[in-house]
A and B are shown apart, each in its own frame.
Chain A
Amino acid sequence: MKKNLLFVASVLMTMNTFAQKTGSVEIQFDNVVGSQDLVLKDKTYTNANGDEFAVSLFQYYVSNFRLKRKDGSEYVVPQDESYFLIREQRPETQRIILKNIPKGNYVGVSFVIGVDSLRSASEVSQRQGCLDVGGEGKDMYWAWNSGYIFVKMEGRSPQVPMTGNRKEPIFMYHIGLFGGMGDKKTLNNIKAASLSFGTDKVRVKADDITRIGIKTDASKLLNGSTNVSIAANPSVMGGPYSKHIADNYATMFSYDGLKKELPAGKGAGVVGMNE
């Protein structure tokens, strides 16, 4: 009996040694508008349609991260540790940490923009952290057409017509819809991003943190295959037009190089479901 226990213990220790040959990848998200930094409220930008706009709120889900190797193989981050809600208003959410990444060289990263359809329809106990509709995810969920809002941008534009009940020139883009379940189909606005690290050597070392940057261009919601007129579409929340904005924002992410450790005070970063 004692011998057996010793054997089990030594096997466990061996496994542990293997398990330690992993490092972490930190991704620092930098929200921008074209070539300018995104500054909430106080800065005015112009979209491709020529409309002026200021952004008061910008936040989005990214999930289901995969890291690509040169030979085409991938490391898939375990799903429960792979949901993040990035909020411009909260710098600590703009720094996410993927843990237990096998050491080695990686050439790219891919992820889902939004929440995959399976998790969008999952049971309530599977909706933890940033997916908790009565917690962190409270402002990113539609209760009446059950599903997450993948990307949310709000702000003001002088081009918004003051018609109907509108008291202020406000625009709101709340884009979601995961496709529905079974025979109950809806629009599917889930998009994916796949970014190459180019010539950068992104190497994950055991017990170390490798830091990379991703730029998120908020103006891409409005510019792209459809140049959105804020005047004509000041409020898009679901609805057929949401497809055009989702097609646009599918291109809003770009790789932004290797990064250094952020100065203290920028938050500790978030792991998994932003718990």
Chain B
Amino acid sequence: MRLVRKVLRVVMVCTLPAGISSCSNQSEVALDTPAFTVPKNFPAPVYALDRNRITAAGVELGRMLFFDARLSRDKSISCAECHSQPYAFTHHGHDVSHGIDNRVGTRNSLPIQNLAWSNSFFWDGGVLDLDLVPVAPIENPLEMDETLYNVLEKLRKDSTYPKKFKAAFGTEEVTTARFLQALSQYMLTLVSANSRYDKYVRNEGVTLTADELAGKQLFVQKGCANCHAGELFTDNKFRNNGLSLAFGTDLGRGRITEAPQDNYTFKVPSLRNVGVSFPYMHDGRFRTLEAVLDHYAEGVTETPNLDPLLKQNGRLGIPMTAGEKAQIIAFLKTLTDEEFLKNPQFIQK
């Protein structure tokens, strides 16, 4: 935190005397901050951090933008509307997210966390670069119903933003790339890696209860970890988990690829903070973790492209007793990261 303040001071000093050559060097502005670090138990990030260096000023600008309702057509909603921190940056309690004019979207908003480790975005993977993600909600008529072009025009006319762009990128120019890179910088800092589970696996003096440990074992034994794999709890693949089509026929990944074998497949979501990010599934059809596990135990429906892992030896779903389900849920709740959900640095001051 002290380093961040120091960087800001350097920036402020530099913006005043325009002619001093040592200050015109942008690298002085672009000092690294402790805002983003790779947790010990995480793999290497996939986001190309070298092409968009995270700086204190960049994160500050990105955070301002994330909480700014001017990104929507009528200045009514910001990104934070559907991505609220206490609920792991999801739209709390909404099955599908609500946008402008209270228009209803078609999908449940995904958490914004650990995005540096993701190689595709949204439930259907329609965007493959984090930097291009914000254009989708801004331009979706059911979400912010604005154009990126207009957003940039609004920011250019603002009294504060050009200065913030200068602090982050060296000049006051408001460009598409800078706007998107600043948002990425902020979103990249939203790293959740301090749950009780994390502290347990990193041997940081935290113990798990007998039920939680049994659940952790069952999570692997029952095959949950085949898809919700590794420390990110997702294999980043697209799979059909056998949801009944009676509630809607969203083609998921098939809508993007036009390939019939991708119909009804959706991105395997991370399970980090799953205890606070209800409701669940792409359409938010399940309100509790109990309902989710009941689905995997008894509710899996044989729809086109059902993942073979959910139909083994001719049986649909994953057999689990009530006790086993309860233990798995106890384990899943160890993935709740209170520090992440309450981190004051993530909030617009």
Asked if B135 is at the interface of the complex by the 8 Å CB criterion, the answer is yes
- Residues in A122-151 with C-beta less than 8 Å from chain B: 123-125, 127, 132-135, 138, 141, 143-146
Can you list, as one digit per residue, whether each of B121-140 has a CB less than 8 Å from chain A (1) or not (0)?
01001111101100110111
User: Given the interface contacts A138-B149, A186-B257, does A144 sit within 8 Å of B136 by beta carbon?
Assistant: yes
Nearest chain A residue, comparing its CB with the CB of B128: A181
Q: Does B51 contact A (CB under 8 A)?
A: yes
Inter-chain CB contacts under 8 Å: number: 80
Q: Which residues of A contact B181 (CB under 8 A)?
A: 124-125
Q: In angstroms, how far is the closest chain B Cβ from the Cβ of A42?
A: 28
With contact pairs A125-B51, A134-B149 given, residues A184 and B125 touching in the complex (Cβ less than 8 Å): yes
Binary interface encoding of chain B residues 174-193 relative to chain A, with 1 for a CB under 8 A from any of its CBs, else 0:
01110111000000000000
User: Could you tell me the dominant secondary structure of chain A's interface residues?
Assistant: loop
Contact check, B176 vs A144: say whether CB atoms are below 8 A apart. no
Q: Which residue of A lies closest to B180 (CB)?
A: A124
Q: Given that A124-B180, A184-B125 are contacting pairs, would A134 and B140 also be in contact in the complex, using a CB cutoff of 8 Å?
A: no
A239 at the interface (CB under 8 A from B): yes
Are A127 and B177 in contact (CB-based, < 8 A)?
yes
Residue in A132, A184, A240 with the greatest tally of chain B CB atoms within 10 Å: A184
Given contacts A121-B128, A143-B132, A146-B127, contact A186 B256 (CB under 8 A): yes
Task: Identify which of A125, A180, A239 gathers the most chain B CB atoms within 10 Å of its CB.
Answer: A125
B48 touching A146, Cβ below 8 Å: no
* Given A127-B176, A180-B257: A121 touches B129 (CB 8 Å cut-off): yes
Who on chain A is nearest to B139 by CB? A143
Residues of A within 8 A of B148 (CB): 133-134, 138
**What distance in Å separates the Cβ of A178 from its nearest Cβ neighbour in chain B?**
11
- A98 → B minimal CB distance (Å): 25
Chain B residues with CB under 8 A of A145 = 126, 255-256
Assess A138 versus B147: contact at CB under 8 Å? Given A133-B176, A184-B120, A184-B125: yes
Please tell me if A238 contacts chain B, counting CB pairs below 8 Å. yes
B18 proximal to A (CB < 8 A): no
Within 8 A of B (CB), among A4-55: none
**A240, B256: Cα distance in complex, Å:** 11
Centre residue among A124, A132, A135, A238 by max chain B CB count within 10 A:
A124
Answer whether residue A185 sits at the interface, using C-beta atoms and an 8 A cutoff.
Answer: yes
Q: Which residues of B contact A127 (CB under 8 A)?
A: 176-177
Taking CB atoms, residues of chain A closer than 8 Å to B229 are none
**A141 neighbours in B (Cβ, 8 Å):** 135
In the assembled complex, which residues on chain B have CB atoms less than 8 Å from the CB atom of A134? 135, 147-149, 151-152, 175-176, 179-180
Chain A residues with CB under 8 Å of B151's CB are 134
Chain B residues with CB under 8 Å of A135's CB are: 149, 152, 176
A132 to B176: give the CA distance in the assembly, Å.
7
A76 at the interface (CB under 8 A from B): no
Question: Is the C-beta of B258 less than 8 angstroms from some C-beta in chain A?
Answer: yes
Which chain B residues in 108-127 approach chain A with CB under 8 Å? 120, 122, 125-127
Is B259 located at the chain interface by the 8 A CB criterion? yes
A146 and B126 within 8 A (CB): yes
Residue of A nearest to B237 (CB): A183
Interfacial residues of chain A within 163-221, with CB under 8 A of chain B in the complex: 180-181, 184-187
- Contact flags (1/0) for A101-133 with B, using CB distance below 8 Å? 000000000000000000001011101000011
Q: Which residues of A contact B257 (CB under 8 A)?
A: 180, 184-187
A125 to B149, CA, bound (A): 16
Closest Cβ neighbor of A181 among chain B residues: B128
| Min distance, Cβ A8 to any Cβ of chain B, angstroms | 24
Give the residue name and chain of the B residue nearest to A126 (CB). Answer: B177
List 9 A-B residue pairs with CB atoms under 8 Å apart, sorted by A's residue number: A123-B129, A124-B132, A127-B177, A132-B175, A134-B152, A134-B179, A146-B126, A146-B128, A186-B258
Other than A123-B48, A132-B175, give 4 A-B pairs with Cβ distance below 8 A. A124-B129, A127-B176, A146-B127, A238-B258
Query: What 3 A-B pairs are tightest by C-beta distance, nearest first?
Result: A134-B176, A134-B148, A143-B135
Instruction: Point out residues on B near A: beta carbons under 8 Å.
Output: 48, 51, 120, 122, 125-129, 131-132, 135-136, 138-140, 147-149, 151-152, 175-177, 179-181, 255-259
